[in-house]
């Protein structure tokens, strides 16, 4: 077994919510066993404040993370590329090497309308769903 961390890219469209939360969760739960980045096919200007709040509730700070375009990472090698929305899955570029492509489709919590409480609930549900998948991926 290698002592090198598993290199993971989490990809979505805007890189403002789902992929940013997944990056924070992988970093926290992976405890140094993963080197994780996130990116988007059409990155937003900033991380969604509801994503930041939902993650802060779990003790994971993602407020300093910045959305970035997947093209900025094309020269890097990853062991796994995980898409967390159907649009990103269809637009995911080919990365060099033997890359495992994984797809976890999560509804966009930023698309939820209504009160701030309803929006935050959607982000919490997404966070919790991502955490379940990530725990299983890491076999925790």
Asked if residue 140 has pLDDT above 70, the reply is no
Q: What is the pTM of this model?
A: 0.92
Quick one: average pLDDT of 68-95?
80
CA pseudo-torsion sign 62, 65, 67, 69: negative
Alpha-carbon span 65 to 73, nearest angstrom: 15
Nearest to 81 by CA among 68, 65, 91, 95: 95
Which run of H or of E encompasses 127?
A: helix 116-137
Domain locations in the chain as residue ranges: 6-132
Tell me what percent of the residues of the chain surpass a pLDDT of 70: 90
Question: Active-site residues: which are they?
Answer: 12, 85, 92
Tell me the pLDDT tens digit for each residue of 48-75. 999 999 999 999 999 999 999 998 998 8
Asked if residue 99 has pLDDT above 90, the reply is no
Query: For all residues of the chain together, what is the average pLDDT?
Result: 91
Range 6-132 has CATH code 3.40.50.2300: yes
Tell me the pLDDT tens digit for each residue of 106-121. 999 999 999 999 999 9
């Amino acid at each position: 077994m290698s002592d090198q961390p598993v290199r993971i890219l989490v990809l979505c469209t805007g890189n403002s919510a789902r992929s940013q939360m997944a990056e924070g969760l992988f970093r926290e739960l992976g405890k140094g066993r993963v080197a994780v980045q996130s990116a988007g096919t059409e990155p937003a200007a900033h991380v969604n404040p509801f994503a930041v709040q939902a993650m802060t509730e779990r003790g994971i700070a993602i407020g300093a993370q910045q959305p970035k375009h997947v093209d900025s990472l094309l020269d890097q090698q990853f062991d796994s590329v995980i898409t967390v929305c159907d649009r990103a899955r269809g637009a995911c570029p080919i990365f060099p090497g033997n890359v495992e492509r994984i797809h976890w489709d999560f509804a966009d919590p930023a698309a939820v309308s209504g009160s701030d409480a309803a929006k935050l609930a959607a982000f919490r549900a997404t966070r919790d769903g991502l955490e379940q998948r990530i725990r299983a991926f890491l076999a925790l």
